[in-house]
Amino acid sequence: MKRTYLFYIAIFMTLLIANAQDRSSFKAGMNAGIPVGDASDFSSFSIGFDMAYHWGVSELLDVGLATGFVNAFGDTETISEGIIEIEAEFEDYQFIPLATSFRIYPTFEFKFGADVGYAVGINEGNEGGFYYRPIVGYNITGNTELNVSYTAVDNNGTFAIATLGVLFLF
């Protein structure tokens, strides 16, 4: 039974990719963000880069794969109580997302969608976790996109970043 499902999934994906060969695109870009929620307690700023490959399923929908790299810079906290002062320095939080991706195009200029998958933790003590990134984009030119997103990694708590990014289509 399992092989039958895998067979049908493989056929579906082959037809989907064959149908979309004329509308496929590679995208790469950069983003910067501010940690939100609990992440803002130990991180101050993030930068990253994004890469994705999308296949056009229809005029309104693209599906694909996405990856990249995110580095959230560790913060330094100083706590003072009378004459006692304690300084804590947090390490950078780094991960590589491995995700499936979809985009919906209500108009040529405007798009929204999400990346969903797993974030591989890079730094020591970072186990990674479930990765999701809802995103809204706007085409500035025919091959340049400006986007905003909420990037989150869940693993016994949520590490989240509000980002602003730019993508270039190739």
pLDDT of residue 22: 57
Looking at residue 1, what is its pLDDT?
A: 44
pLDDT value at residue 142? 83
Class of domain 23-169: mainly beta
pLDDT at 2 (0 to 100):
45
Specify whether the backbone of 129 is left (phi greater than 0), alpha (psi in -120 to 50) or beta. left
What CA–CA distance (Å, rounded) separates 136 from 144? 14
In order along its 170 residues, the chain shows pLDDT tens digits of: 445 544 555 555 554 555 545 568 899 999 999 999 888 888 889 999 999 999 999 989 999 999 999 999 988 777 788 788 888 788 888 999 999 999 999 998 999 999 999 999 998 888 899 999 999 999 998 899 999 999 999 988 899 999 999 999 98
Entry pTM: 0.80
Residue spans per domain, the chain: 23-169
